[in-house]
Amino acid sequence: MPFSYVSHLYCPKCRKEYSPKEKHQLCECGSPLLVAYDLERLKDNLSPKDVQSREPNLWRYHELLPVENPENVVSLGEGMTPLIKMPKLGKEMDIQNLYMKDEGIIPTGSFKARGAAVGVSKAKELGVEQLAMPTNGNAGAAWSLYSSRADIKATVVMPKDAPVITRKECAVAGADLYLVDGLISDAGKIVGEAIKAWGLYDASTLKEPYRIEGKKTMGLELAEQFSWNLPDVILYPTGGGVGLIGIYKALSELKELGWIKGDLPRLVAVQAENCAPIVKAWNERKQESEFWPDSSTIAFGINVPKALGDFLVLEAVYNTNGCAIAVDEDKIVEEQEKVAQLEGSFICPEGAATFLAARRLREEGWIEENETVVALNTGLGVKYPNTVDIEVPILERNGSLTTK
């Protein structure tokens, strides 16, 4: 039995096909490429029981991943993150079955490890020696660390106000790190010029086909963790949108395999009010978004003014009867603190945005009381040390505690 049932790459716009055994970036028409698998053949050779008996990491789904030789797998043990019921927060929101998929409990401290694990593994298989990418922080950190394990040289460009910890991760991993006085879109232009000049492999969001495949394992895991019975709603913090696209792709593939039945969960793209191009496009029933000028948000990972795969994000939302919602910027930290105080999880601002969105959608009646709802927390709160301001009393050496 083959390690992977990868069949080909294809363009979702013009339908042109490419070989997965060669290096490819975008389609000739400029669209991102997606990975296709021989699902008909896989149906006869793999069952949910087969998967459940394997090691608890994302490579348990290797038949649905693009790496063809297991010797090329680059892993730090990523995947199978906990699915946690949030009873106190759910009671406060009036959502009886509220869950969190906690992606902070993963190597590099964010869900970006999934895309890096599969993306770097496939890059290694294709003979890549040097890659470059723009990042808002966490992706650059993850790709730098996984690249070092694969003996691939990484060049990373990020906005100068990206979280300091992510900069240090890149530097410690040996990546060539540069900061730009601007947004991720500005970093992307600089990286694009370097790629043309130096012939580097472009690991930018959706400019290689394999990051999505790593991210889609969140959807595969959710289906397995719910015993192949899907939740009603999945909320996802959306910047470049790869995670949401990946979850939709995963669930669509599982349905074609016959592993899941019924309607897919309603997918919710969550953005911040100061950077909400997907929300604007959804409200206007458009197929693509427009560039969002002067974008800024404390949820740094979703500060993406124009996503290359916006049409794929919107397709996933439309096809599942989902929605796109922008949350109040000044309430994100408040929600972050509420999750920590009620449920004991110090989540990232992007994750807090998904709970804030769930709260509002329940208030508006879009989410019903008895529905099963999953909010994705995409990283550790400790990776954003400047997000929460605190005032702590300092005691003298012979001081004493005051009672409250």
Any idea where the domains of the chain sit in the sequence?
Answer: 6-73+111-202, 83-105+216-381
What is the reported pTM? Answer: 0.96
349-361 pLDDT tens trace: 999 999 999 999 9
CA distance 178 to 10: 33
- Identify the band that residue 390 occupies on the pLDDT scale cut at 50, 70 and 90: confident
Per-position b or e across 374-400, b if 16+ CB within 10 A of its CB: bbbbbbbbebbeebeeeeeeeeeeeee
Beta bridge mates, 266: 233
3-state secondary structure of 216: coil
Instruction: For the chain, give the mean pLDDT.
Output: 97
Rg (CA), the chain: 21
Please, where are the H alpha helices in 96-239? 112-125, 138-149, 164-172, 184-198, 211-215, 217-225
On the question of pLDDT at 22 being above 70, the answer is yes
315-371 pLDDT tens trace: 999 999 999 999 999 999 999 999 999 999 999 999 999 999 999 999 999 999 999
Note whether 324 and 278 are within 8 A (CB). yes
- Identify the band that residue 32 occupies on the pLDDT scale cut at 50, 70 and 90: very high
The Cα angle at residue 224 between residues 78 and 138, in degrees rounded to 5: 30
- Which pLDDT does position 402 carry in this prediction? 78
- Mean pLDDT score, 121-128: 99
Residue whose structure tokens are 């240090």: 168
Burial of 263 (0-12, 13-18, 19+ CB in 10 A): exposed
> Which of these, 369, 254, 252, 360, lies nearest to 316 by C-alpha position?
252
Helix then strand count (H, E) for the chain reads: 14, 13
Query: Between the CA of residue 142 and those of 62, 85, 286, what are the distances in Å?
Result: 20, 27, 33
Per-position b or e across 179-197, b if 16+ CB within 10 A of its CB: ebeebbbebbeebeebbee
**369: its two tokens:** 């009381």
- Which pLDDT does position 19 carry in this prediction? 98
> Which of these, 399, 391, 244, 398, lies nearest to 316 by C-alpha position?
244
191-241 pLDDT tens trace: 999 999 999 999 999 999 999 999 999 999 999 999 999 999 999 999 999
**Domain 6-73+111-202 identical in fold to domain 83-105+216-381:** yes
Please state which of the four CATH numbers 3.40.50.9100, 3.40.50.1100, 3.40.50.2300, 3.40.50.720 is assigned to the domain occupying 6-73+111-202: 3.40.50.1100
- Which pLDDT does position 404 carry in this prediction? 62
Which CATH code fits 83-105+216-381?
A: 3.40.50.1100
CA distance 35 to 214: 11
> Which of these, 114, 139, 142, 301, lies nearest to 216 by C-alpha position?
114
- Identify the band that residue 387 occupies on the pLDDT scale cut at 50, 70 and 90: confident
277-313 pLDDT tens trace: 999 999 999 999 999 999 999 999 999 999 999 999 9
- Which pLDDT does position 388 carry in this prediction? 85
CA distance 72 to 81: 23
